[in-house]
Structure formats: structure tokens, C-alpha cells
Structure 1
Amino acid sequence: MAGLLGAGSFVNYIDRVNLSIASTPLAADLHLTPSQMGFVFSAFLWTYAVLQVPMGAVIDRIGVRWAMRCATLLWSLATVMTAFAGGLGLLVAARLFLGVAEAPVVPAAWKATGYWFPTNERGMCTSIFDGASKLSMVLGIPAMAFAVSRFGWQAAFYVTALISVLYAVVFWTLYHGPAQMRRKGWLSEAEHAYILDGGAQVESDARAEGYGDVIYLLKRRKTWGLAAGFASYTYCYYVLLTWMPAYLERQLGLNVLSSGIYASIPWLIAVVSEFLIGGWLVDSLIRRGASPTKVRHVVLVVSMVLSLGVVGAAHATSLVAVLGFLSLGAVGLAIAAPTASSIVGLIAPQGSVAALGGIVNCVANLCGIAAPIVTGIVYQQTGSFAAAFLICGGVAFAGIISYVFILGRITQIPERPLLYG
């Protein structure tokens, strides 16, 4: 199940990074300025972010399986549409549609994690899910760079559309909840009991009144502490995701293929660090009796401090120094992501994991919308990415404050009263 969810994350982020690789020839072909490309980069997030809260409530009502089945088909279509865009308007429309199609993915994955994994195994599961998104950059950036340099910018979208269709077939075939798997005989009774005894949420606990849960969760301090911290991660992450290849091309004079290869190096280091620290180490310490709150707080804070490494790229001039600072920042972000993600299933009331996940992801991606736009404007106005990396540092510092002082102890939010408005 972790592998299946991770594969979905991998495909989703291939759908996002393909535009980053294709951006230079695409912008030249369609006569787009850096500021306009910043808006194109962010267009996906406009619909994606806005739909997170309602989508989380919908998933709590209809379940993971059907929400993701519909999503896989829609995002395959949206990717093909991008290849046929002949101007700014059509390009933005295609990316808006992609944001709609991929909106269920994260809250659905967090809800599935709450069903399928004991609490002491969620660090590794979320590391696999989030690490797959970074792995898409390790493998996807060079592959997309080769396709674009060889066949033109449209090739990146044709290739990812094919991958998306293949994943749709796999998900439709394989995903079921634990109870369904048990009835089919694909999950043993002992394994099912182990999952439930380890703190997994029970599928029958899903509530029909999802929107009431959303209102209740919006009034909880822990919701905003986690959301604000995750928003700081998302801002910094989208700066690197959308602009790193262009930064290497324009600041260091690399070509499309070379920038794609070098841009994958920080993400490769980040993926390895995420599995070792955000996954294995966190779960191992908790299994040995360490306080889950202390472990996750320490990992979150230390990793966000490491993410401040992106500030060093503001004034670095050599390729080695640039890759060193970007790798340090990517490692910090990669470790923070699964740790923060695993907290959703730990603090959400029974039956409200997707609703809480939707709120957290909505706030985070509303912040993420600004990242490519601000970076594009800064570069166009100054001819340099230095100020953009300094802004990342300030945002990351705000995330540290949020995790420490607003989120507080990692304990489950009480269930809302039945008559709560």
C-alpha cells in the first residue's frame, strides 16, 4: 500500500516537474516573460489549493478508492491538454485543470495511511509517499530533459500522460481498504488485527457530516500550527521545484540537459536522507520508547533549520557551492515533509483525517502559489535569484516558530460534539 501510494505521488510530481524542464523552450516558443512563466508555474496551485478543504470532506464521505479512481483518469487528460496549448491562456487553463484532477491525492493518501498503518510505522510510510515525489525529480528531471532536448517541449507532457494512464490501471486494480482486503482474503486476520491494535483508524468510523468537521477543525489551534508549518515547507519546496532548473541555466549558463542532470543531484541526496531520518530513524526511536512528541518536534525543527541552507545559494557562484547549498536545503525540506505529514493522522479526530489533511494542504498550497510568482518577479526585476532565496530563508524560519509554539504537543484533537455547528 505504501508503494502504491508512493507511485501515485511519483506520477503526480512528474506531472509538475515536466513544466519546469520544458519552461525555457516553451517560453521561447510561446513568447512568455519570466513573470508570465511564474504565473504558469503557479496556475496548478490555484485550483489545487482551493479544492483541498472540500476535497478532504468529500473523501471522508465517499472514501479513498473512488476519489482516486476518478482523479487518475482526469489528471491523465489534463497532462495531454498541456502539450496542445498554443498560448498563455490555454496553457494556464490546462494547468488549472491539472490542479483540479490532482487535488484528492494528498488528503486521500493521508487518510489511507491512517487506515493501513500502525502509528509506529507511519514515519516510513509517509517517507515513501513523500520521498517518491522527490524521486520523481531524481529520475524525472533527467528523463524529461532528455525528451525535451531531443523531441521538443511537448514530449515531456506526452511521456507523463502515458505514465499517468498506466498508474490509473494499476490503482483501479489494486487499491482497497483493509476491511475489503480482509474480506477478499488478501489480508490475514492477524495482520488486520496488528494494524488496528497499533492505532490505525477504523474505516467504519468515517463520519457523514464532513463539512461540520471542517468548521470544527478550523477552530483548533493545532490545525493552524501544523498548517502554518507545512506552508513554510511548501513555499520553499515550490521555489526549488519550479525554478531550480531555470536557475542553473540562467545563473550558471548550463543548457537544458545539463541543468536537468545537475538539478537531480540535490533531490537524490534528499530522498536518501528522507528515508533514513524522516522514515527509519523516527519510527525506530518511537518503537524504542522515545516520546513521539519530542522525536517529531526535534526532527521537524532540526530539518527546517537545515532547509535554511537555500539561503547560501543566494550568493554562491560556483557549481559545486550552488549544489552544496541547494542539497542542504533540499535535505531539510525532505526530512520535514514526512514527519509533518505523519502528524495529520495522529492528531485528527476519528473519521476526520482527510478533512484535516485537506485544511493543512490547502493552507500550505495557498502559500505555495506565491512561491513561483514571487521568484519570477524577483528574477525579472533584479536579474538574480539571490533575493528569492533570502525570502525562502525567512519563510522557513517562520515555519520553525509555528511548529514549536503553535502546534504544541502532538496529541489527538478531541472529537467534535455531535451538535457542534
Structure 2
Amino acid sequence: MTAAPTLVPGQVDGDAGHGRRAWTVTALLVVFMMVNFADKSVLGLAADEIRADLHLNATQFGLANSAFFLLFSVSAIAVGMAADRVSPKLLILVMAVLWSVAQVPAAVGGGLAVLVGSRVFLGAAEGPAFPVAQQATLAWFPNDRRNLPGALITVGITLGVIVSAPTLSWVIQHHGWRTALWVLAVVGTVWAAAWAVFGTDSPHGRPTPAADEEVAVKIPYRRIFASRTWIGSTIAYFTSYWTVALMLVWLPSYLRNALDYSAGTSATLVVAPWAVGAVVLFGQVWLTGRLMRRGAGSKTARGRVGAWLLVVGAACLLAVPWVGNVLAQTVLISVGLGFSGAYATVAATTVAEIAPPGRSGGALGLMNAVVTVAGLLAPAVVGTLVDAEGDSGYQHAVLLSGGLVALGAVAAFTLIDPGRDAARLRR
């Protein structure tokens, strides 16, 4: 009898059914991330309406948005590590159900306390979403084919904002911000039902060969977290996520109050940075894949390419306050935030490369936990700046963001070398 071929973890075999399942899971998880970021963006889209309804100043509104990230990081670590042992399908299903439940209290009514409580609960449920979705997707593909599916999961973030910004803005303007929360609760419930039926764990996501198990056990998490690549990727991604938080919470208000766009125009323009980010992301995927096919190491293909994304983003953001023309400022903020926010896939695929089988969930989870502290800080910091300085506080927030992204670029250039650190970890 001929022995069946053994697949390495994450390898996609030649079976057409296996390939279809891999891409079905990927497509579902793209929608999963769309729902995830629609949930995150809804308060930013309704910022002025919520502040008027609940009588909040900018600092209070910023703190309410920061509350979303209060347990975000803790749950990202716990569930990220659990994903190395528990079915990712089950974890993702539970998360999606909890997201829908979390929308209900604020949708029913209540003031600031209810809003804050519901956002804390939602943040705890959403914290592990990106690393677990990345792990569940990447487990279906070998390392040299992970760039595209990893990018698609990240593009789900962009698509979530592109679809939700005009849709939810219309609902908010015509039916109120609480109705928008009900819409998100229903959408999350429908997605959870679809995932329960069609979602599948990769048969190679948690390796069973003894040799792979031994490698995973011999490498403690602390060695991964101490590697220069993990540290550099986390710092760079932290600065990138700061700009993502800025887009989610304060960009609609920035466009309406600092640049004097109407509510309708702002709802359209808020999509621009996300659209730029999507184009940049696919460009990065194409360039990274091309470099790797030509034999370039991942230090160049992932580390250097990702660093240059941050360089471009930082340069544009730092230039915004020095340009007097509103159109030019709009273009610079869109390009700057788009390039800066497109780093997530680089970070995820880089860390997945150095993490051995059985450790990727924890490695991605802790990175995401550290990174999303930026989401805890950015809304509150910007709210304080706006209350203290008025509209000029928005410009100072953009300058601060540009400086942080520049630091992230330096970290990416100087620290990231996945090939070197992967080899060291396996010695």
C-alpha cells in the first residue's frame, strides 16, 4: 500500500475541494473583518450626533471611544494563545455572537455610562479578531502563498469602512445613531449563522507530527517576544494602528470641523484614506511576492517594503499642517493615513514567519494586544487636544501621528529580519 503524502503545516494540497475550502474560509473572514471595523467606526461616524444627544465634550467622547480598548488587549492575548489549542472556528463564532449582543444596550437607550459599558464589552469581544482571523486563514496556505490571503483579511478592514461609512451615515442622518447600532447587531447575527454553517478549521492548522510538536514546545513564547523582528514589527504596527484609531474616531469630525466639509461630503471623503490603503496594500502584496519569487529575503521583501510604506505615510502627515489649501490637505491626509494604515498585513505575515507551529496564535495575539494600546490612547489624546486648542488641535494630532509613524519606520528598518530570527529561534 502506498502511504499518503504528508503535508507540512499550512500547506495547500492539490485537491480542488481543499483549495475551495481555503478560499471559502478566507472570503468569510474578509466579511468578518468588514463587520468588525463597521462596529469600530460607527461612533466616529456619529460623533457630532452622539456628542449633541449625550451632551459630551471632545474629551469625554474621546474617552468613551478609548474605553473600547480597555479590555481589547487583554482578550487579544488570552484568546490569541487559546487559538493555538482551541478551534479557531469556535472562537470566531463566539466573537461574532458577542459583537451583536454588545450593540443592544446602547441601541435600546441610556447615557454615557451605558455607551461606555457596551463599548468595553464590544472591545473585549473584538480584541482577538484580527490575529485569530489571520491565523485561521494563514493556516490554510504555505509561507510563500500567504501574502494574498493575509492581505485580503486586512482589506476586509478597508471594505468594512468603505461599505459602512456611507450606509451607516445615511442611517444615522435619517433614523438616528441608535438605529445604526441595531443594524450592526443584525448584520453580525447573520454573519455568525453563515460561519456556523460554512466555516472550517484548516486540517493542518495545528500540526500533529511529533517533530513539529517538539519544536513548538522547545521554543517558549518569551524567546519569540524578545526577537528583534517581533519587537520591530510590533513597534511599527503600533504607530500604524495609532493612525487607524485616528481614522476611526476623529477623521469624520476633522473633515467636518477643521476642514469645513458638510456631513454628506465628509461621509464620502472619510472613505478616501481606506481606499488608498487598499490600493497600497495590494501593491505591497504584489511587490513582496515579486521580490520573494526573485530570491530576495524577507528582510527586504517584508521588512524594507513595510518600512517604506511608513516613510511615505509619515512624510505626508507631517506636511499637512504646513499646507494652506483645503484640497491639498485632504489629499495629504488621505495618502498619509492610507500608507500608514496599510502596515497590518506586513506585521502579521512577518510574525507568522518567525513563529513556529503551535506558537503563531500567541505571537500574533500579544503583538495585537500591544499594538491596540494605541487605540486606547489615541482617541483620548486627540479629544484632549481638541478641547484645549479647538480646531487647531486636529492639526497638532496629525503632526503627532506623523512623528510616531516616522519612529515606526525607523524600527522597521533597523530591527526586522525574519530569516535571521526564524533561524535563531529554531536552534
TM range (shorter): 0.7 to 0.9
Counterpart of 1:12? Answer: 36
Matched, 1:331 2:338: yes
Report if the CA contact (8 A) 1:53-1:359 is conserved.
yes
Aligned twin of 2:127: 103
| Aligned twin of 1:374 | 381
Given that 1:348 and 1:413 are in contact with CA atoms closer than 8 Å, whether structure 2 keeps it comes out as: no
Query: What TM-score comes out, normalization by structure 2 length?
Result: 0.87
**Hey, what does 2:58 align to over in structure 1?**
34
Measure, in 2, the Cα distance between the counterparts of 1:382 and 1:341.
37
Whether the aligned pair in 1 keeps the contact of 2:66 and 2:380 (CA below 8 Å) is yes
Give the residue type in structure 1 aligned to 2:415: I
Alpha-carbon distance between aligned partners in 1 of 2:35 and 2:75, rounded to the nearest angstrom: 20
Alpha-carbon distance between aligned partners in 2 of 1:340 and 1:254, rounded to the nearest angstrom? 34
Q: Report the equivalent of 2:305.
A: 299
Give the Å deviation of 1:318.
3.9
Aligned ranges for residues 21-420 of structure 1 at < 5 Å?
21-179=45-203, 202=207, 213-275=220-282, 277-308=283-314, 309-383=316-390, 384=392, 385-411=394-420, 412=422
- Partner SS, residue 62 of structure 1: coil
What amino acid maps onto 2:64 in structure 1? V
Measured in 2, the distance between the counterparts of 1:134 and 1:363 equals: 22
Deviation (angstroms), 1:85: 4.3
* DSSP-derived class of the 1:401 partner: helix
RMSD: 2.3
Give 1:285 deviation, angstroms.
2.7
How far apart are residue 201 of structure 1 and its match? 7.0
- The secondary structure found in structure 1 opposite 2:271 is helix
CA contact (8 A) 1:138 1:268 kept: yes
Question: Quick one: distance in 1 between partners of 2:423 and 2:34?
Answer: 31
CA contact (8 A) 1:231 1:399 kept: yes
The amino acid across from 1:44 in the alignment is F
Q: Secondary structure in 2 aligned to 1:178?
A: coil
Cα distance, 1:294–1:239 mapped onto 2, change above 3 Å: same
- TM-superposition CA deviations, 1:127-176 (whole Å, max 9, x none): 11111101222221111111111111112211111111111111111221
How far has the Cα of 1:386 moved from its partner? 1.2
* Matched residue SS, 2:295: coil
CA distance 1:310–1:64, change in 2 (3 Å): same
Task: Output the CA distance in 1 between the equivalents of 2:145 and 2:47.
Answer: 39
Question: How far, CA to CA, are the matches of 1:413 and 1:12 in structure 2?
Answer: 35
Q: Is the 8 A contact 2:350 2:418 kept in 1?
A: no
How many residue pairs were aligned? Answer: 396
CA contact (8 A) 1:48 1:99 kept: yes
Question: Separation in 2 of the partners of 1:271 and 1:218?
Answer: 29
Gaps of 5+ in 2: 1-24
Distance in structure 1 (CA, Å) of the matches to 2:426 and 2:142: 23
- Whether the aligned pair in 2 keeps the contact of 1:148 and 1:156 (CA below 8 Å) is yes
C-alpha distance in structure 1 between counterparts of 2:31 and 2:362, whole Å? 23
- Cα–Cα, structure 1 residues 54 and 201, in superposed 2: closer, same or farther, change >3 Å? closer
**In the TM superposition, what is the alpha-carbon distance from 1:269 to its structure 2 partner?**
2.5
Deviations along 1:29-62, whole A, 9 cap, x unmatched?
0011100010111111111112221221111121
Identify if the C-alpha distance between structure 1 residues 206 and 25 changes in structure 2 by more than 3 Å, giving closer, same or farther: farther
Post-superposition offset of 1:235 = 1.0
Structure 1 residues 136 and 206: alpha-carbon distance in aligned structure 2, compared to 1, 3 A threshold: farther
Please tell me the residue identity of whatever aligns with 1:390.
Answer: L
Alpha-carbon distance between aligned partners in 1 of 2:113 and 2:152, rounded to the nearest angstrom: 36
Taking the aligned partners of 1:164 and 1:268, their CA distance within structure 2 comes to 23
Contact 2:240–2:341 (8 Å) recurs in 1: no
- SS of aligned partner of 1:51: helix
Distance in 2 between the 1:388 and 1:289 partners?
41
Equivalent residue number for residue 20 of structure 2 = none
The separation in 2 between residues aligned to 1:152 and 1:293, in whole angstroms, is 49
CA deviation after TM superposition for structure 1 residue 407, in Å: 2.9
Task: Please give the alpha-carbon distance, in whole angstroms, between the structure 2 residues aligned to 1:96 and 1:77.
Answer: 12
**Aligned equivalent of 2:4:** none
Cα deviation per residue 1:244-267 (whole Å; 9 max; x = unaligned)? 001011112233322111111222
Q: Distance in 2 between matches of 1:144 and 1:315?
A: 33
Q: Give the deviation of 1:304 after TM superposition.
A: 0.1
Could you say if the C-alpha distance between residues 290 and 224 of structure 1 is closer, same or farther in structure 2, counting changes exceeding 3 Å? closer
Supply the distance in 2 between the matched residues of 1:410 and 1:323 (Cα, whole angstroms).
39
| Structure 1 residues 67 and 251: alpha-carbon distance in aligned structure 2, compared to 1, 3 A threshold | same
Percent pairwise identity: 27
Structure 1, residues 85-117: CA drift from partner, whole Å, max 9, x if none? 421111110000001111221221222233111
Aligned 8 A contact 2:71 2:120 in 1: yes
In the TM superposition, what is the alpha-carbon distance from 1:414 to its structure 2 partner? 5.3
Q: CA deviation at 1:367?
A: 2.4
| Kept after mapping to 1: 8 A contact 2:224/2:425 | no
For structure 1, list consecutive stretches of 5 or more residues without a partner in the other structure.
180-195
